[in-house]
Amino acid sequence: MTVTRSIVLGCGSYLPERIVTNAELASRIDTSDEWIVQRTGIRQRHIAAEGENTSHLGLKAAQAALANAGVDAQSIDLIILATSTPDNTFPATSVDIQRGLGINHGVAFDLQAVCSGFVFAMATADNFLRSGSHKRALVIGAETFSRILDWEDRTTCVLFGDGAGAVVLEAQQQPGATSDRGILTSHLRSDGRHKAKLYVDGGVSSTQTVGHLRMEGKEVFKHAVGMITDVIYDAFKATGITADDIDWLVPHQANKRIIDASAQKLRIAPQKVVLTVDKHGNTSAASIPLALCDAVADGRIKKGNLILFEAMGGGFTWGSVLLRW
Ligand code: ACO
């Protein structure tokens, strides 16, 4: 008996033009290229121009993904945008992107799980597609974290950047085996007891301000590797797939040390890990599709490859998605 799977038809990404190097940051605050590279692996980040909002970045990534998939925008009936930095409090930024694509059928909504947002959005889209309610989805991660950073706080402002990435997913019938193409399993978790370790100190209901990102970096680091590997083991348990079977680990690009430690614990070889954090820093929900598109564009990821996404972020939230390209 066949099963419905969500197959990736294509992906696209977009980074704002302006690049801010570690050296430029070091000219403004008490930091250094050496400190940032050694602690995080980040060398530069892209920062959105004035007036360039999350919807603009998301729209460009969505257009690139549609072009890469070779499908018309009008064939999309579901848009999920993962973001923690929407253009407005409401309406949802995804609806702006929907309008930008010239679509006025189907449904678009935002989803907020901070750095885990893209994994949460992939899992959500997969459930819609497998239920039969929708046929073709755009899953977008887009962020303008530069707007919620305290640029005087060297412990946080050096870590983040702006960007967007997107994939087109389509419901297709597959034989129902682990050799199927598409999303094979996804696992999502959250635990609000960790709120104070990574949060924004403002918001509509609490302060009526946007606020700034605050983080206990050491505490985040301490929990990250365990949480990430837990949800990956969940994916292995659900499918019988092992670390040896994985062709590419495409992790949330927060910090090279977290990525290295997670891959090492899972016994996934460094050459199977897609790393782009050096080029754009932590772009929250955009980082996985940004890394994915890089590895697809340069031919590393090929049809039939087994790919693992993982992310952990504010909340805490964390999750994994296992799929065959
Ligand atoms: N430049 C220079 N020095 C700095 C900087 C900076 N940008 N930031 C902090 N320091 C100093 C500190 O003040 C401290 O100085 P002191 O010893 O005189 O007090 C020293 O460097 C060491 O600071 P620590 O906080 O102990 O540095 P640590 O080695 O823990 O590295 C970091 C900090 C990079 C934030 C690390 O804790 C980390 O990677 N945490 C994970 C955070 C993360 O990735 N968050 C992203 C969001 S969550 C996610 O996406 C998974």
The SS3 call for residue 64 is: helix
Domain boundary among 118, 144, 174: 174
Measure the CA–CA gap between 66 and 202, rounded to whole angstroms.
35
- Work out the end-to-end distance of the chain between its first and last CA atoms, rounded to an integer number of angstroms: 21
- Taking a C-beta distance cutoff of 8 angstroms, is the pair 63, 12 a contact? yes
CATH number for the domain that contains residue 15: 3.40.47.10
**Best probe residue, ligand 1, of 24, 31, 35, 39 (max atoms within 8 Å of C-beta):** 39
Strands 317-324 vs 306-313: parallel, antiparallel or unpaired: antiparallel
User: Is residue 217 lining ligand 1, measured as CB closer than 6 Å?
Assistant: yes
Round to whole Å and give the CA distance between 191 and 318.
9
Assess contact for 187 and 319: CB atoms under 8 A: yes
Q: Are 57 and 92 in contact (CB under 8 A)?
A: no
Claim to verify: residue 166 and residue 188 sit in the same structural domain? no
- 158 pocket-lining for ligand 1 (C-beta < 6 Å): yes
| Last residue of one domain, picked from the residues 120, 149, 174 | 174
Is residue 232 domain-shared with residue 99, that is, in the same domain? Answer: no
- Our count of domains for the chain comes to 2
Please check whether residues 129 and 245 belong to one and the same domain.
no
Which atom of ligand 1 is the closest one to the Cα of 252?
Answer: 50
**Alpha carbons 190 and 131: distance in angstroms, whole number:** 24
Residue positions annotated with a catalytic role: 115, 252, 282
**Contact in structure between 162 and 11 (CB atoms under 8 Å):** no
Cα 217 to averaged position of ligand 1 atoms, centre (Å):
6
| Cα 40 to Cα 20: distance, rounded to the nearest angstrom | 16
Question: Which of 155, 219, 280 has the most ligand 1 atoms within 8 A of CB, as the residue to mutate?
Answer: 155
pLDDT (0 to 100) of residue 1: 85
Per-residue pLDDT of the chain (325 residues; tens, 9 = 90+): 899 999 999 999 999 999 999 999 999 999 999 999 999 999 999 999 999 999 999 999 999 999 999 999 999 999 999 999 999 999 999 999 999 999 999 999 999 999 999 999 999 999 999 999 999 999 999 999 999 999 999 999 999 999 999 999 999 999 999 999 999 999 999 999 999 999 999 999 999 999 999 999 999 999 999 999 999 999 999 999 999 999 999 999 999 999 999 999 999 999 999 999 999 999 999 999 999 999 999 999 999 999 999 999 999 999 999 999 9
| pLDDT at res. 246 | 98
| Residues 218, 125 share a domain | no
Give the DSSP letter of residue 302.
-
Q: How do beta strands 248-251 and 306-313 pair?
A: parallel
pTM assigned to the model: 0.97
Query: Is the CB of 149 inside a 6 Å radius of any atom of ligand 1?
Result: no
Query: Measured from the CA of 257, which atom of ligand 1 is nearest?
Result: 39
Residue 93 shares a structural domain with residue 233: no
**Domain of 298, in residue numbers:** 182-324
Whose tokens are 């946080």? That residue is: 156
Note whether 209 and 150 are same-domain residues.
no
Determine phi and psi for 167, rounding to 5 degrees: -130, 155
Same domain, residue pair 148 and 219: no
| Statement to judge: residues 141 and 234 lie in one domain | no
In a shared domain, residues 242 and 170: no
What does the pLDDT read at residue 298? 97
CB-ligand 1 contact for 21 (6 Å cutoff) = no
Co-location of 77 and 196 in the same domain: no
Residue 131 is inside which H or E element, if any? helix 117-131
Based on the fold, state whether residues 117 and 265 are members of the same structural domain: no
Same domain assignment for residues 146 and 201: no
| Residue after which a domain boundary falls, among 142, 174, 206 | 174
How many A from CA of 214 to the centre of ligand 1?
A: 12
Backbone dihedral angles phi then psi of residue 9, each to the nearest 5 degrees: -90, -25
The pLDDT value recorded for residue 293 is 98
Atom of ligand 1 nearest to the CA of 40: 34
